[in-house]
Chain A
Amino acid sequence: MKNIYTKIDEVVIEETLQNGLKIYFMPKEKHFKSYAFFAVRYGGCDRRFEVNGQWHDTYAGIAHFLEHKMFDTPEGNALTTLSANGASPNAFTSSEITAYYFQSTENFMTNLKTLLSFVSVPYFTDESVKKEQGIIGQEIQMIEDDPDHKVYLNLMSALYKERPVRESIAGTVDSISNISADDLYFCHNTFYCPSNMVLCVSGNQAMEDILFTADSILPKAPGYAIKRDYGGEEPSTPVQSKIEAYMEVSVPLFMMGAKIEPVNPGKLRQQLVAELALEMLLGESSELYAKLYEDGYINYSFYYGLETFPDGSFIAIGGESKDPMAVFQNIIESADNWKLTSDREILFEQIRKAAIGSRLRQLDFMEHLCYSRANGYFHKYDPFDAFDLIWDISLDEISEFIKTYFHFTRQAISIVWPDVKQGAV
């Protein structure tokens, strides 16, 4: 099926293979490179699941471990094969998906074949798993040294009672030491099935070639129905409102946020409401931002956004600050005093134009086209609907979002303070 988006001059061709795999192709004829993104709906949060009537508990970090090991092939390493053939491959594991991707300016179809086959054909040995435990152990140590990661993970444990998002996607040195080759085969067999995956391609290619390649390489069976358990009902309020740590940083780091109640359907609309609300309240053209910036409470590192994971999402606001609690209090107060004024109407109009502009900018990036398409598929929406939906959202929706989620009972803050004991280098 060919979808033409006239206003933004984009085309998206989609097909579903017999085995249930969804394929999207977004042509970019003038570009030298092409890009492929092959994603499985399996991430750091998918720790407990049911297949064939039986529940399984797996170790923290296994999805990420599997991602690392998938590159092993009986012939050697798929990274080497792809690079040798002119591709720049990589992969990542988020809380909800694992994705394998490459870009290449030549031999695209050969590279696509390699991508599809190494991701669908596992090859592990106890020896190679053992070796990977060393490599990932190092990666985990590096992550644990990272204050940005600490401030994030602490916020998760302040917000959530029992969601798996409380634990690092990579797991711990201890949790990954338990993983065996058999565990990896089992998880691959369960999740890496065509009906649980999506392939997105963008560039100067033809859909027929993509379909032919995918059809000839991938397994014929669609796979299992998987039930996932992400923990019980969460209260709407955080578990604790403040969490602190000390690390070697020059300026305190903070991240504050609130849990957002899941909606289904309506995920895209909720995302847009969150995005516009954050912009209205905290964006560079808000009074609050100007005040915080001019008083030196925030700097260029200031960020805000909506993050999603399976079965939920949260808003996060953070950055460096000499006084994180002052930022926290200013934001809560500003939301509390939020009123609809004629200035806000004008601001809302400008912010909607800006939201359109920032989406237009993303159309130049194949990585973004593919990633947002895959995300939209797993969450059942078309990301390009945003161009129209933005004009459909009312200021009342924005006000309600701000009043609800910026109430002080909803918000938690995580702070990493400079560790004075360590001293400067």
Chain B
Amino acid sequence: MECTRIELMPAVHLTCVQTDKFKTGCLSINLLRQLNAKEASKNALIPRVLCRGCTQYPDMHSLSAVFNSLYDMSVTPYIRKKGETHCIGLYSDFPDSAYIPEKDILKRAVEMLCQLLIDPVTRRGLLLSEYVLSEREKLCDDIRSKLNDKREYAISRLLESMCADEAYGIGRLGTLEEAAKINAVSLTKYYRKILAESPIEIFYCGTQNIDTVSRYFISALSALPRVLDPSQLLSTEVITEVGDVRCFEDEMDIAQGKLVLGFRLGSIMRAPNHAAIMVFNTIYGSGVNSKLFLNVREKLSLCYYVGSVIEEQKGIMIVSSGIDVKKYDQAKDEILTQLDNCKKGEFSADELSMAKRTVISSICAMMDSSSGLENYYLGQITQGLNFSPEELQMMVQAVTKEQVVSVAESIQLDSIYFLHNVKEAGQ
């Protein structure tokens, strides 16, 4: 598996992973924006509107007919938050030409993706109002429907509260208030601006080589405007100091309480050891051999689920759990006790090596999936890093106990969020 990255045009890069491992090829094209409250909803709306039609295939009916006849080629809007970089774009996958009669499939996929991105269907120079309004409505539905998944909802409420003064507190889809202000005129103007000035990251994974792929893109993107704004720098604010622990709560009619703790990774973020952070997270809270799972769930039965995730680019860790509301204090104390145990170095050489193997295994599994590779490389780029999955594995292998302890020692509790039943409130 060979990965190459080249600049196709000013601030347009192509990352190409050439491999014959998959029967499905994939492409993505992403505009990178600095996340902010005013733009987030517009960013989230643009790829959805673009997916509604281009000049050649102006409606869903004609688009879907062409995708079907291209053997279920898919194009999906992708809206991701990588730290405080908002990555908005289109993702496509399609069968490799070896298995279908359509031999030009990659070229067709590149053309479709670029047409959708740079040549949307317009009327008098504007994106179609009916598309903008119906997609805006659906975006609002999606923002509202966060409520349906209580686990995710509790996490997003924690982030909104804990990072209220940081861009990271803004949801991936923006807010209802900002979305409501968007119309075809404002969105068209904004779309033209960001298309011209945003850095663009293109990714390909499949059997073809970078020369072929770049030739297709250079031709398909010949009409892409480029007016770069050098003042637009992508960065993520990392807070390393925390004050008193802040507590937030909401009431809702649910049987199971959701307890979410937000931490800052602290001073280690000045020179983060990526591999040690991954190993720490596995020992502490990710997976069935973690301290949280084995103690809080299995040994003490304090919760139905519990786990930690680390958003390294932002320097935060989230522990989320589903608990019986009566066990709030016990569950919270035990989650913190297990962190203290990591700080004290209370984990064995076996636990360390097991955690390393788990991390390495998850890296290998990621390399077995083209969408996994796509997401990995985009993350590398937004973090300004440049190591391959193979190198990351070696870094993980070299992690020492002291490095893991120093990650743990640096972590501090910032905020606690609790979502619980109306009737049984009282915490």
Contact = CB atoms under 8 A, between A and B. Distances in A.
A112 B132 CA distance: 52
A363 B95 CA distance: 10
Interface stretch (B36-44, B62-70, B335-343): B62-70
A354 B99 contact: no
Interface in B339-366: 350, 354, 357-358, 360-362, 364-365
A87 B288 CA distance: 11
A7 interface: yes
A144 B23 contact: no
A77 B60 contact: no
A374 B94 CA distance: 26
B365 A103 contact: yes
Contact of A364 (B23, B69, B137, B288): B23
A189 interface: no
B298 A147 contact: no
B361 A105 contact: yes
B253 A357 contact: no
B152 to A, nearest CB: 12
A293 to B, nearest CB: 7
B144 interface: yes
Interface stretch (A177-185, A245-253, A263-271): A245-253
Interface string A111-147: 0000000000000000000010011001101101101
B72 A251 contact: no
Contacts of B322: 138, 142
Contacts of B100: 356-357, 360
B253 A248 contact: yes
Interface in B19-74: 19-24, 59-61, 64-65, 67-73
A351 interface: yes
A84 interface: yes
B61 A364 contact: no
Given A104-B361, A248-B147, A347 B65 contact: yes
Interface stretch (A28-36, A211-219, A230-238): A28-36
A299 interface: yes
B130 interface: yes
Contact of B288 (A80, A139, A251, A285): A80
B313 interface: no
A389 interface: no
B73 to A, nearest CB: 7
B250 interface: yes
A32 B304 contact: no
A141 B99 CA distance: 46
A422 interface: yes
Interface residues of A, number: 67
Contacts of A253: 148
Contacts of A350: 65, 68-69
A283 B61 CA distance: 10
B97 to A, nearest CB: 11
B145 A33 contact: no
A79 to B, nearest CB: 5
A228 B65 CA distance: 45
Contacts of B251: 425
Given A103-B365, A135-B301, A425 B138 contact: no
Interface of A: 7-9, 30-33, 77, 79-80, 83-84, 86-89, 103-106, 131, 134-135, 138-139, 141-142, 144-145, 147-148, 248-251, 253, 283-285, 287, 289-290, 293-294, 296, 299-301, 320, 347, 349-351, 353-358, 360-361, 363-364, 419, 422, 424-425
Interface of B: 19-24, 59-61, 64-65, 67-73, 93-95, 98-100, 130, 134, 137-138, 141-142, 144-145, 147-148, 150, 250-256, 287-289, 294, 298, 301, 303-304, 322, 324, 350, 354, 357-358, 360-362, 364-365, 367-370
13 contacts: A9-B98, A33-B368, A83-B358, A88-B365, A106-B357, A135-B301, A135-B304, A299-B138, A356-B72, A356-B100, A357-B71, A361-B93, A364-B369
Given A77-B298, A249-B145, A294-B60, 7 more contacts: A33-B364, A248-B252, A283-B64, A301-B145, A350-B69, A354-B72, A356-B72
The 3 A-B pairs of least Cβ separation, nearest first, read A357-B72, A357-B71, A285-B64
